[in-house]
Amino acid sequence: MVLGLLLAFTATAVRAQPKAPEATLPANPAATQQSTPIDLALHPAAAPQSTPIDLALHPAAAPQSTPIDLALHPAAAPQSGPIDLALESASAEVKRVARWVVDSGDNVGLPFLLIDKINAQVFVFGPAGQLQGAAPALLGMGRGDRMLVSNDTKMSAMPPQVRITPAGRFVSRLAKDSKGKELLVLDYEASLSLHPVVKGTPAERRAERLSSATAQDNRISFGCINVPVPFYAAVVSPAFTGTKGIVYVLPETGPASALFGLKPDGAAVAGAQLSSPAPNAPAAQTGPTPGSR
């Protein structure tokens, strides 16, 4: 009986041994092989979805912001409208010279003025050529582009036909006259300047002439350029404060191209020499400054 039990136990143990390897067979390799391609397959699938979504969103946002920005700028433009209209209404000669000054850099980075004698107007530009303002002006009573009297001629000895505002290119700066009033000196030796309108004699009606709708009555001074007081204070003086500038007085007896050296279309003539019929204002002034006339 004991022998029978031993044989039965041994048989049972022998039958149980083959099952142990089956229980210990690793299931991880199979699971690892299955999980790896799943992970790899998921990443490429996610990437294409995110890329087109991002790309599609950016173009959609850009068109919305662009027209909004562009629409805002015209809203601000009307503030400078009167200035733009002033240049649009300027003569072709003024526009041609202004373009040449900017394109050629003849103003050497300084503010500059254009004086249209034919239409009795003054245009003030910043160093980069931006129009700062425009106004009517009173000019010399005589017609012409060159001074016909010496610099030391007294005003009382100047008949109307020699009271000329000379044309030319003038290096100009602010100064004080003998009464302490500010003016823009064009030619120190010739006592030529641009300044706020003076009263003059009652018969001259200078203020009324500035306010008239025509330029036909704007020839009344001894040669200086008179401009409205508010225009001088708000535009001319700030433009030239702390710096010198260039004043271009356009001729009335010939084309500006011949005087300043530019082609009829406004382009600069290579090698042309600018000329001025009167000396420019000196770099340093000693003695009395030009008065208002």
Q: What residues does each domain of the chain span?
A: 90-260
CB atoms within 10 A of CB 182: 18
DSSP H stretches of helix in the chain: 2-16, 19-24, 28-76, 81-88, 92-104, 206-211, 229-231, 237-240, 256-260
What b/e readout covers 83-111, taking b as 16+ CB neighbours within 10 angstroms? beeeeeebeebbebbbebbbebebbeebb
Q: Rounded CA gap, 100 and 111, in Å?
A: 14
> For the whole prediction, is pTM greater than 0.75?
no
3-state secondary structure of 292: coil
The closest alpha carbon to 132, from 241, 288, 209, belongs to 241
State residue 290's pLDDT score.
58
8 Å CB contact between 190 and 166: yes
User: Which three-class secondary structure state does DSSP give residue 43?
Assistant: helix
Q: What is the pLDDT of residue 25?
A: 43
**Are 244 and 186 a contacting pair, CB within 8 Å?**
no
Would you call 212 helix, strand, or coil by DSSP?
A: coil
Distances (CA, A) of 290 to 9, 77, 152, 195, 250: 138, 39, 11, 10, 21
Specify the fold of 90-260: L,D-transpeptidase catalytic domain-like (2.40.440)
Write out the two tokens for 48: 């294409």
How far is CA 63 from its chain centroid? 28
Answer whether 105's CB lies under 8 Å from 115's CB: no
Whole-number pLDDT of residue 166: 95
**Mean pLDDT of residues grouped by 10 in the chain (293 residues)?**
46 47 45 43 43 38 33 33 75 94 95 97 96 95 85 72 92 95 94 89 85 87 93 98 98 94 61 37 41 60
